[in-house]
Amino acid sequence: MYPISLIVPLYRSYHILEKFLQHLEFETKTEYEVIIVDNSAETGTAKNIVNKFNNLKKRVTVYEEEENLFYTKSINKIVKQHFGEVNCSKFCILNPDCYPLEKDWLTKFLNIWDIISSKNVNLSTLGSLHFKDWQKEELRHAGCVFKNLNLRKFPSDWEHLTRIPNDYATIEICGEIRKIWSVQGNTGTGIIVDYLKFKELGCFDEVHYPHYSSDSDFCRKSLELGFEHLCCDIEFYHKSRESSLLVN
């Protein structure tokens, strides 16, 4: 059993899948599995791309769907069917348009999670930095806040932070000093999620939020139950919505 599973919802984005997998290989220390939910109904295409990666293909599972499950149901299906009753404590969600930029990015990500969890923090999600460009000159995401926690409307009440708050804390991992800070939620890609809390909240809401707003709904419900969300400075380049071609 792998210590962490990366869930990757895919829809007609084969043009970026190969580059995405190349960036996953920046991780050299932590064993992990990749679960791709291919909603494109193009049999074999994703598997053919995966098979180009000799060191990676043995840990990749591709689920080919006959119809588009959209983001929300894709994640829920894997959590319910793939994990089952295994001893899983957390999982990571990545879109194929979200590229890790650091060597051993996952080891660092998990170390931050484990250190925070050991301090009795009731952690629900841990997010990361998303840059709009490869040069890391402009931030797209440093966590999220709600403009009005009582207003259940998306996207008007869900705001991405575009800078690291001044009240961050620091933590030492892998010989590096990293930043962490409190947020009210994290966007649903480049994120680690607590498995038991995800199940306790009934997974993502497929009925009311079949796609883009299920992450904000989940984060809001977590806050209402007293769970916490943090963000850290693990770096990704995120070419927003490229993974869905604005359709999924």
Segments making up each domain of the chain, as ranges: 5-238
- Identify the three-state secondary structure at position 128: strand
pTM value is 0.92
Pick the CATH number of 5-238 from 3.90.550.60, 2.160.10.10, 3.40.50.11030, 3.40.50.1970: 3.90.550.60
- Identify the three-state secondary structure at position 10: strand
Q: 62, 58, 94: which is closest to 186 by C-alpha?
A: 94
200-228 pLDDT tens trace: 999 999 998 887 788 988 999 999 999 99
Counting Cα atoms < 13 Å in the Cβ hemisphere of 78 gives 29
Confidence category of residue 248, pLDDT binned at 50, 70, 90 = very low
- DSSP 8-state assignment for residue 58: G
41-99 pLDDT tens trace: 777 889 999 999 998 999 999 999 988 999 999 999 999 887 765 567 899 999 999 99
Are 32 and 106 in contact by the 8 Å Cβ rule? The answer is: yes
- Identify the three-state secondary structure at position 118: coil
Rounded distance, CA 99 to CA 5, Å? 16
The residue ranking higher by pLDDT, 32 or 85, is 32
120-176 pLDDT tens trace: 899 999 999 999 988 999 999 999 998 876 655 554 578 889 999 999 999 999 899
How high is the pLDDT of residue 93? 95
Rounded distance, CA 45 to CA 247, Å? 19
CB contact set of 86 (below 8 Å; sequence gap of 6+): 1
